[in-house]
Amino acid sequence: MILVTGGAGFIGANFVLDWIDTVGEQVVNLDKLTYAGNLSSLSRLADDARHCFVRGDIGDSQLVRELLKTHKPRAVVHFAAESHVDRSIHGPEAFLQTNILGTFRLLEEVRAWHAMLEPAARAAFRFLHVSTDEVYGSLGGDDPAFTEQHPFQPNSPYSASKAASDHLVRAWHHTYGLPVVTTNCSNNYGPLQFPEKLIPLMIHNALAGRDLPVYGDGANVRDWLYVGDHCAAIRRVLEAGRLGETYNVGGNSEMRNLDVVHLLCDLLDELRPRADGASYRSQIRFVTDRPGHDRRYAIDARKLAGELGWTPSLDFASGLRRTVRWYLDNQPWVDDVTSGAYRGWTELNYGARSAAPVEGAHS
């Protein structure tokens, strides 16, 4: 069996569902169930003996020790993190606690347990650390895409905390011989993403008749990858990635934010037209920019393609259509995850942002 951390979040839940469907091996899923973790994402596995859910913190050393001893996983896949850049700007401490200290405590428990394994099990064991392209910083418009050799230049509390965790994972390999691999992936989208991130937030606001808040001039560029393709990449790296290596994962789909929002509006106009016949584009508003907003991310994933044969299977247009359909068909899930403290968050993040008209930004 494998131990997954953060498996009730967006990518973790997609990974657990895909893992049970494709590999069929048992999963112990350790998740603290913060605002971002939702058991309703895993409801399909409620009666499935291959899924064992444990509510808890990766920083709880005793709990992790007991889980390792009881379940004897052959691998740990580490997703658990605070993941939202805007939240890290409003309250960085939780990011340092979970992403840095939590990862450190998890590594220490895994190291102690790994050291006691029989030689064959010890040799086969893997710790896969799921990280982000944001550790590399920001690119200019004509710069080449990030390779694995690009220096770390994190610019937000979130990316700084993830960069720190990447360094810890690397150090635990070099110093203690822990068998680790790390993936650095670009922006994911798809089913089960909490509506605080760009794509689900825009779908949610559009359907509710609310403003579509585009930060700054809307020309920041992100590389988008369908979450199912990220899960496939992680499975492949877990299976055949070289120890101590990092692998970039990307979608070859660089898009300006405003273009993403336009595409979303056009899809919604087609699939769920507004009652008044107007386009959802009329709800777009330019608002005060995110502080320290990285301008462009782009991923060079040729190492993963060349060594392990992984490439994305879905292009952005097909993935986005599939995603919009999923949100339209799964409104009860959205209602469930936005029923708690969601309102307080949107007031904190968007209430103080003034509308900032930007000349020429609609072109």
Dihedral sign, Cα of residue 330, residue 197, residue 48, residue 33: negative
Nearest approach, Cβ of residue 204 and ligand DAU (Å):
11
Is residue 159 involved in binding ligand NAD (CB under 6 A)?
A: no
Task: Identify whether the C-beta of residue 195 lies closer than 8 Å to the C-beta of residue 204.
Answer: yes
Tokens of 238: 């877990």
- Residues 169-198 binding ligand NAD (CB under 6 A) are 185, 187-188, 194
Main-chain phi, psi angles of 294, to 5 degrees: -60, 135
40 versus 288: smaller Cβ distance to ligand NAD: 40
Q: How far is CA 249 from the centre of its chain?
A: 12
Residue linked to tokens 């009652």? 275
4, 164, 192, 198: which one binds ligand DAU (CB under 6 A): 198
79 to 194, 213, 343: CA distances (angstroms): 15, 28, 26
Kindly state the number of chain residues that form the binding site for ligand DAU, as judged by CB under 6 A. Answer: 19
CB atoms within 10 A of CB 100: 20
- Residues 127-146 binding ligand NAD (CB under 6 A) are 130-132
Q: Which of 136, 158, 247, 297 is catalytic?
A: 158
**Is 133 annotated in the active site?**
yes
20 versus 88: smaller Cβ distance to ligand DAU: 88
Is residue 204 involved in binding ligand NAD (CB under 6 A)?
A: no
**Is 134 annotated in the active site?**
yes
Task: Identify whether the C-beta of residue 221 lies closer than 8 Å to the C-beta of residue 283.
Answer: no
Is residue 323 involved in binding ligand NAD (CB under 6 A)?
A: no
**Is 176 annotated in the active site?**
no
Tokens of 55: 């509510």
| Backbone conformation region of residue 55, classed left if phi is above 0, alpha if psi is from -120 to 50, else beta | beta
Tokens of 285: 């508003």
Per-residue x/- track, 112-151, ligand DAU (CB under 6 A):
--------------------xxx-----------------
Burial of 13 by CB count in 10 Å (0-12 exposed, 13-18 middle, 19+ buried)? Answer: buried
Is residue 262 involved in binding ligand DAU (CB under 6 A)?
A: no
38, 155, 187, 246: which one binds ligand DAU (CB under 6 A): 187
> Which amino acid is present at 97?
Q
Nearest approach, Cβ of residue 31 and ligand NAD (Å):
5
Tokens of 146: 């990030």
Is residue 8 involved in binding ligand NAD (CB under 6 A)?
A: yes
Using CA atoms, how far apart are residues 1 and 6, in angstroms rounded to an integer?
16
Q: Which of 134, 223, 229, 294 is catalytic?
A: 134
38 versus 283: smaller Cβ distance to ligand NAD: 38
Residue 249: name the closest of 199, 186, 198 by CA: 186
Task: Tell me which residues are annotated as active site.
Answer: 133-134, 158
Residues binding ligand DAU (CB under 6 A): 83-85, 132-134, 186-187, 197-198, 201, 213-215, 220, 222, 257, 290, 297
Residues binding ligand NAD (CB under 6 A): 5-6, 8-12, 30-34, 36-37, 57-59, 79-83, 98, 102, 130-132, 162, 185, 187-188, 194
